[in-house]
Structure 1
Amino acid sequence: MEKKINYIPAVLSLNQKKVGIYCRVSTNSTEQWNSLSNQISHLVRIVSTVPQWLLVDAYIDIASSKTGSLRKEFNRLLEDCKSNKIDIVITKNISRFGRDTVEVLNAFNQLKAIGVRVIFEQEDLDTNNTDADLMISIIESIAQAENEERSDNIRWGIKQRAAQGTSKLYDRKCYGYKHDKDGKLVIDEQKAENIKLIFDLYLSGQSVIGIIKELEKRRILSPTRKEKWCKRTIDVMLSNENILEMSGF
């Protein structure tokens, strides 16, 4: 005999507020999955400590931090708030709520207009306890500080790699060179012959257009593996003193 299961939904008392938690990570890495798990469990614990709150849904995005990438769950959260399914939104911090200041402020203003309370747990910011203009100012200040810190970290990293000799910034491959097994730039003998030919033609009085015609006649491919050479490419080669070494001049 088949068992009958009757689902009895939770009854919302008059003073209870419907809470939605929002979590986001930007990649599918194990580290990010652990971060997501920690975010969810932490926010669920916070909601469970307040008797007047009822957790009705969790909105979880695993999406790129790049502007333009889809955040389906975030959009669903906004729609549920507009439909009065959510009274309070709680999220870990401002950076999880939006990918940039513009997006955070846009969402914040939408929720503020429909009377939905927003709590940023890490920054200890609550729209119920903070004036709207002050809240916006705080969000902008925090976002700016995070951007400055990120920029400083990137610059520091570039300097460190350059000092240690591990940066590829000044070791990028160009036409006529290749990386050896140790990752160092060395002359590519086959392409070096092409460069010598270009200089020979130039010194013999050929114009740039004439050089291009000769290269195409000999079926020598351009640096981008195309049959048609670009005039700008030849100009750069002829003005690049570093190429003189492989040209024999």
Structure 2
Amino acid sequence: MQYVSGIIAGAAPLQEGGGVMARSKDRARQEIKAGKSPFRTATYARLSVDSAVTESDSITSQQMLMRDFIKGRNEFLLVKEYQDDGISGTRFDRQAFDSLLGEVRKGNINCIIVKDFSRFGRDHIEVGSYLEKVFPFLGVRFISVNDGYDSFDKDSADKKLAVILKNLVNEYIAKDTSVKVASSYATKQENGEYDGGRAPYGYAFVDERKTRFVIDERPAGVIRDIFTWTIQGDSALVIVKRLTKRNINPPKAYQDTGDFYRREKERRYWNEYTVSAVLQNMAYAGHMALHKWKESKADGISPHMLDESEWKITKNTHEAIITEQDFGLVQEIMRARKERHKSLNALDEAVIRPDNLLKGKVLCGDCLVPASRMGANYQRKAGKVRIYRYRCRTYREKGAQECSSKSISEKDLEAIVYQAVMAFICQVECLDDRISRFHNDFFQKMCSHIEKEKGVAERAIRQGKNEKILLYKEYISKERGNTEQNGTECACKDGVTDGNKVWYLKEKQKKDREIRYHEERKTQLQEKIALFERLEKEQAGWIKNILSYRDTALEEKLTAQMASLFVDKIFLYEGKRVEVVLNFKDEYESLYSCMGQVWGTEEGRI
């Protein structure tokens, strides 16, 4: 399991027989007995979307049960409650579950409580791995209330077989439920009943079962406009810009908020993919296309889209927004556009698609959105050539009111980045030469001088401490002499004892200052030695790695290895201005400053 290996990879190796796990658990048990700090506890509740929900299984009921269990038990401190609503127990990639594990890894949670094992998960292998490996390794206490299971209770070891059997039953129930739900969906599809969760944009459900819907006039008007503009020849990008200019909320934002128009600070927009999805949705012609996706928890089949030939299409199930004739015409237009695009951008066998060396690194400098890499074929004397450009995605999709136009060819951008990388390599080469000259000309002499100064400081510290001891002995001797000669009471009256004490404290403070001065001097010298060691270490580390790319200057172009090693981010601005952010820049500036500190010292001028 990936999660387990990720934890163990960064941890100390386990001793034979699982010694680390046992010690972690034993310490926790000792804390319970001794009444020490309470367990930092989190509760976890889960409900599957396809479950037949009963009152006892609801999220609220699960949380109430676990709160009642914790109530009055001083060994638990409830830190947070986690819940995954509508997530299958056969999956472990759940949002709240992942957040809980994140807090566990940080050490913020060391006790997890669930209603029963089925709420934690229905995959017996995964559940067993957490109970037997992950949680013991992290020293986490796990409690299943209804199952009477407590991982820190020694009696729970006798219940392991029951736990295994219960997990197997839970997994069987999950698969059986999956089969029944699939059968239910199949029946709905045969009857032409909608099973997509939300009604298509432009429609609203008419019944509580959410299987039939009617036209929702305001968004339906947008659907009609989209089809009309397409028939008139507008591209999806042009339509996106029109809808954005009219400030109309995209489908998901409208369904989430009920707001037809986009709010002032809302940053959800239409895009070409959404427009294309609308144009291809036969629901707008009054037909129901079901069984477009397939998933089976019982057979372990992940969600995937089926071929159009496998869809179940039921004609005339609801009122149409678009006429059959217009819908068919738009499909022909889209097919023609797709073929034209393929023909225009198809790569000949003789043309090699350039590698995307800067993938994921190019962003708009204003909106900070990743730039679009767009390619097109151009006919040249030598044949068809594939040329790429980077453009601001926000401007392209949403227009000038959201961002400004920025565009640069990939070839020009790679040349700029190459020049930036080579300039940085030259800077590092100069720094390396400076470090080498310092090492050859001054390093040994400086180290010898510093060690000598350090020895002087250490001797002064020892001498100061010895003088403090002698000073104290002298003070005690004077006190005893005064007492024997005059008696304690008489001496105090004459002020002799007080005078000795003042003298002693004054001399002691003087010695303390001298010792402190030499200790600080010793610390400064140690820091300088550490600086020298750092110069040697970094010269043999990242500096050597960077200088190994000096030979690539002969190629005079950016390579994939150079882009990966050197380039962090690239920001595009208007007028083809580019900002290249390089890796190792912080290390370079820190080391350059370090060299300045060394050369600026008295030792550096020896």
Alignment TM-score, normalising by the size of structure 2: 0.25
Q: Aligned match of 2:232 in 184, 189, 204?
A: 204
Aligned 1:142-181 pairs, distance under 5 A: 142-153=166-177, 155-157=179-181, 159-160=183-184, 169-180=195-206
- More contact order relative to length (CA 8 Å, sep ≥ 6): 1
How many Å apart are 1:180 and its aligned residue? Answer: 3.4
Moved more, 231-240 or 181-190: 181-190
1:63 matched to which residue of 2? 81
How many Å apart are 1:154 and its aligned residue? Answer: 5.2
Long gaps (5+) in structure 2: 1-31, 46-58, 84-95, 122-126, 254-261, 286-319, 325-606
Q: 1:107 to 1:176 in 2, by over 3 A?
A: same
1:33 matched to which residue of 2? 64
Moved more, 154-163 or 219-228: 154-163
- Report the Cα distance in structure 2 between the residues aligned to 1:157 and 1:93, rounded to whole angstroms: 24
Long gaps (5+) in structure 1: 1-16, 41-55, 79-90, 112-117
SS at match of 1:172: coil
Contact 1:216 1:228 in 2 (8 A): yes
Q: Aligned match of 1:229 in 266, 270, 292?
A: 270
How many Å apart are 1:194 and its aligned residue? Answer: 1.4
Deviations 1:69-117 (Å, cap 9, x if unpaired)?
Answer: 2579972x69xxxxxxxxxxxx999839976433312334677xxxxxx
1:194 matched to which residue of 2? 222
Contact 1:221 1:227 in 2 (8 A): yes
- Report the Cα distance in structure 1 between the residues aligned to 2:65 and 2:116, rounded to whole angstroms: 19
How many Å apart are 1:29 and its aligned residue? Answer: 3.3
Aligned 1:39-118 pairs, distance under 5 A: 58-59=75-76, 63-64=81-82, 66-67=96-97, 68-69=99-100, 75=110, 95=117, 100-105=127-132, 106-108=134-136
- Which amino acid in structure 2 is aligned with residue 143 of structure 1? N
How many Å apart are 1:64 and its aligned residue? Answer: 2.7
How many Å apart are 1:210 and its aligned residue? Answer: 2.5
Q: 1:206 to 1:110 in 2, by over 3 A?
A: closer
How many Å apart are 1:173 and its aligned residue? Answer: 1.6
- Which amino acid in structure 2 is aligned with residue 204 of structure 1? Q
Deviations 1:146-199 (Å, cap 9, x if unpaired)?
Answer: 23423433553564587589x974352221112236554211122112111111
2:323 matched to which residue of 1? 248
Contact 1:178 1:186 in 2 (8 A): yes
Contact 2:236 2:275 in 1 (8 A): yes
Contact 2:44 2:114 in 1 (8 A): no
Q: Aligned match of 1:238 in 276, 279, 284?
A: 279
Q: 1:19 to 1:230 in 2, by over 3 A?
A: same
Moved more, 175-184 or 238-247: 175-184
- Report the Cα distance in structure 2 between the residues aligned to 1:92 and 1:206, rounded to whole angstroms: 56
- Report the Cα distance in structure 1 between the residues aligned to 2:213 and 2:238, rounded to whole angstroms: 30
Q: 1:141 to 1:228 in 2, by over 3 A?
A: same
SS at match of 1:200: helix
Q: 1:97 to 1:238 in 2, by over 3 A?
A: closer
- Report the Cα distance in structure 2 between the residues aligned to 1:168 and 1:34, rounded to whole angstroms: 36
Deviations 1:9-67 (Å, cap 9, x if unpaired)?
Answer: xxxxxxxx9599x9986457356535765x68xxxxxxxxxxxxxxx975476733642
Q: 1:171 to 1:187 in 2, by over 3 A?
A: farther
Bigger-Rg structure (1/2): 2
- Report the Cα distance in structure 2 between the residues aligned to 1:160 and 1:247, rounded to whole angstroms: 30
Contact 1:220 1:227 in 2 (8 A): no
SS at match of 1:64: strand
How many Å apart are 1:241 and its aligned residue? Answer: 1.8
- Report the Cα distance in structure 2 between the residues aligned to 1:129 and 1:170, rounded to whole angstroms: 44
Q: 1:34 to 1:197 in 2, by over 3 A?
A: closer
Contact 1:216 1:229 in 2 (8 A): yes
- Greater fraction helix: 2
Moved more, 150-159 or 227-236: 150-159
- Which amino acid in structure 1 is aligned with residue 273 of structure 2? R
SS at match of 1:186: strand
Q: 1:149 to 1:129 in 2, by over 3 A?
A: closer
- Which amino acid in structure 2 is aligned with residue 238 of structure 1? L
- Which amino acid in structure 1 is aligned with residue 271 of structure 2? C
- Report the Cα distance in structure 2 between the residues aligned to 1:107 and 1:202, rounded to whole angstroms: 57
RMSD: 5.3
Q: Percent identity?
A: 18
Contact 2:237 2:271 in 1 (8 A): no
Alignment TM-score, normalising by the size of structure 1: 0.51
SS at match of 2:321: helix
- Report the Cα distance in structure 1 between the residues aligned to 2:248 and 2:67, rounded to whole angstroms: 53
Contact 1:192 1:247 in 2 (8 A): no
